Structure 1
Amino acid sequence: MIGAIEAGGTKFVCAVSDENFNIVERVSFKTTHPEETMKNVFSFFDSYKELKAIGIGSFGPIDINKSSTKYGYITSTPKPGWRDFNFLGEIKKHYNIPIGWTTDVNAACLGEYEMGSAAENKSCIYLTIGTGIGGGAILNGNFVEGFGHPEMGHILVKPHLKDNFKGWCPYHGNCLEGLAAGPSVEKRYGTKAQNLENNHEIWQILAYYIAQALVNYSLILRPEKIILGGGVMKGPGMLELIKEEFNVLLADYIEIPPVDEYIVKPSLGDNAGIIGGLILARKLAFESI
């Protein structure tokens, strides 16, 4: 048996599967304060005595630098109660098994790379656009990271000419997350995105910001595929609007695959993160095979 934790700022998902990723049990619960949330995690996994490894994909920022004194911590998150929380350390106190540790978007990226939309590719980027914006990248089976993990949601973008919103990111104001994540819509108009009409100008504005980011990622990382997930992508016609804006902004400067094959939605849907966590766990449990 192997386990996985998809730790989101809104909810946690925990799952146990066999080594072929046939899920035996899966639960989800609200992300509250660490003590209560971790109690729910332990209550779930304690039932499985034959667990060989757990893969964790966590909201962040997190410390993935193994030489750091805060390796395994959630660090500068604005999520109340979770700043400087030793997530990995708490798990290791309870389970003496290999534990994989990465970001939630890296886990989703791994799921799509191994079993989803990028299964035929050697490189990809996964971007989630929801309550926040985060991204992960894989090249030849390895996460793209160095001193820390990428923070793709906090790159700076040019304001849309019709958009006077100053952004909501507590660190940068009008970064990509501050202008295009789900909460930016409600802070602009006082209502959630799903309450706005399909032809509202906000969809074109959001597409413009996201397309700018995709151009930047394309120029720097040159991936074979970009996969877009998260709640904002469920907005009316978002994928097509983004591809249209992307083509205009890129202006044929570099060669990319056909855009309909290059910018896609996750084929694993909302399961990408938990499947990625299970893949991470399997690699740890059976790496000698």
Structure 2
Amino acid sequence: MIFGAIEAGGTKFVVAVGNEKGDIIKRAVYKTTEPSETMQQVIRFFKQYQNDLAAIGVGSFGPIDIRKESKTYGYITHTPKIAWRNYDIVGALKAEFSIPIGFTTDVNAAALGEVTRGAAKGLSSCIYLTVGTGIGGGAIVHGEILEGFSHPEMGHIMVKRHKHDRFAGSCPSHDDCLEGLASGSAIEKRFGKPGAELAGNDEVWNLEAHYLAQALMDYSLILAPERIILGGGVMKEGQLFPLVRKKLNKLMNHYVTLPDFEEYIVSPGLGDDAGITGGLVLGVQAYQKEK
């Protein structure tokens, strides 16, 4: 018996099969083009294992509809990727495979992977925030993915603009949201270069930490997670972690006692495999619920 996983991203789909422990046996990567092309490749990959495939877990870019009572459950909904807007990704899989399909956001899947096998293993709660082209976050509370009327959109909380920041923001929906001011696309539009080419520019990373620390303060005060995991391409800039911890400590101003900052704000234990590992765990959970 094996399980399938899909990490559906805006630029690429990572697919894998693995065992019930979350160990990856085989994987493949496909470009995110149009559903007819990308999903054909995804389905062809899983058809190789059809006789042994017990379930598939899908962590998808969004927004998505996670309400099982909804007529559009399993859809990618109002995504800026026009070709994928209102696309029934779960339905496309169900049409090919008569097995349980677990479905959540890509960042929720990453949080699930990290709490199961990564930097939050052994804990009952964590937040996974990815800071890349965009910003998104998922949360695990008492061992379960946090969901309500929809899934969290942690990248779109409002943050206080730095007094010297005149950048208009990169989010088309909000003027001063975290993604619009601190995502990789915001860095590139504000400074004219991607973050990878700005490693020695203290102005860039102090400003980035200014916004991220505000977000982590909000998440900490609302959800009180045992650990916050920061992933994504922007967080690969080494000086960011110490800056964020320092600014968060100053913002909290001893109001609550947080865990040791070196252990509280960390990089992913699974590296770039957090999402696909979480997808495998999600598949196992879907199988167990329907067994």
Normalising by structure 2, what TM-score? 0.96
- 8 Å CA contact 1:203–1:236 kept in 2: the answer is no
- Equivalent in the alignment of 1:138: 140
State the one-letter code of the partner of 1:148.
S
Task: Determine the C-alpha separation between the residues in 2 that align with 1:33 and 1:174.
Answer: 31
Task: Look up the match of 1:190.
Answer: 192
1:208 paired residue among 207, 210, 220: 210
Alignment correspondent of 1:43: 44
State the shift of 1:185 in Å.
1.2
Q: Does 1:23 align with 2:34?
A: no
CA deviation string 1:10-54 (max 9, x = no partner): 110000112233322100111111111101101111111210000
Partner of residue 265 from structure 1, selected from 228, 244, 267: 267
CA contact under 8 A between 2:23 and 2:277: conserved in structure 1?
Answer: no
Residue 234 of structure 1 is matched in structure 2 by 236
Which residue of the partner structure matches residue 201 of structure 2? 199
2:132 touches 2:232 (CA, 8 Å); kept in 1?
yes
Q: Which amino acid aligns with 1:201?
A: E
SS at match of 1:81: helix
Mapped partners of 1:260, 1:236: distance in 2: 14
> Could you tell me whether the CA contact under 8 Å between 1:33 and 1:80 is conserved in 2?
no
Q: How many residues are paired up? A: 289
Identity between Structure 1 and Structure 2 (%): 56
The worse-fitting range, judged by mean Cα deviation, of 17-26 and 32-41 is 17-26
Distance 1:197 1:222 in 2: 32
Question: Please, which of 69, 79, 92 is the counterpart of residue 77 of structure 1?
Answer: 79
Alignment of 1:153-172 (within 5 A): 153-172=155-174
Q: Which residue of 1 aligns with 2:116?
A: 114
Structure 1 residue identity aligned to 2:118: G
Letter in 2 for 1:25: K
Q: How does 1:248-259 map to 2 (within 5 A)?
A: 248-259=250-261
Separation in 2, partners of 1:287, 1:6: 21
Q: Is contact 1:198–1:236 with CA below 8 Å preserved after alignment?
A: no
Query: Does the aligned pair in 1 maintain the 2:100–2:290 contact within 8 Å?
Result: no
Q: 1:176 aligns with which of 164, 175, 178?
A: 178
One-letter amino acid of the structure 2 residue matched with residue 31 of structure 1: T
- Structure 2: give runs of 5+ residues left out of the alignment: none
Q: Does 1:58 align with 2:68?
A: no
Q: Deviations over 1:204-237 (max 9, x none)?
A: 1011101100000011111111110000101241
Q: Secondary structure at the match of 1:245?
A: helix
* 2:14 pairs with 1:7: no
How many angstroms does 1:287 deviate by?
A: 5.0
Q: In 1, are the aligned partners of 2:5 and 2:280 still within 8 Å (CA)?
A: yes
Equivalent residue number for residue 103 of structure 1? 105
The letter for the 1-side match of 2:44 is S
Q: C-alpha deviations, 1:51-78, integer Å up to 9, x for none?
A: 0000000000111011111111111111
Q: Distance in 2 between matches of 1:32 and 1:228?
A: 27
Structure-1 separation of matches of 2:166 and 2:249: 24
* 1:275 match: 277
Task: Find the residue that maps to 2:84 and give its secondary structure.
Answer: coil
**After alignment, is 130-139 or 278-287 more displaced?**
278-287
Structure 1, unaligned runs of 5 or more? none
CA deviation after TM superposition for structure 1 residue 9, in Å: 0.5
Q: Which amino acid aligns with 2:24?
A: I
Task: Supply the distance in 2 between the matched residues of 1:61 and 1:33 (Cα, whole angstroms).
Answer: 17
TM-score by length of structure 1 reads: 0.97
Q: What RMSD in Å do the two structures reach over aligned CA positions?
A: 1.3
C-alpha deviation, 1:145, in angstroms: 1.3
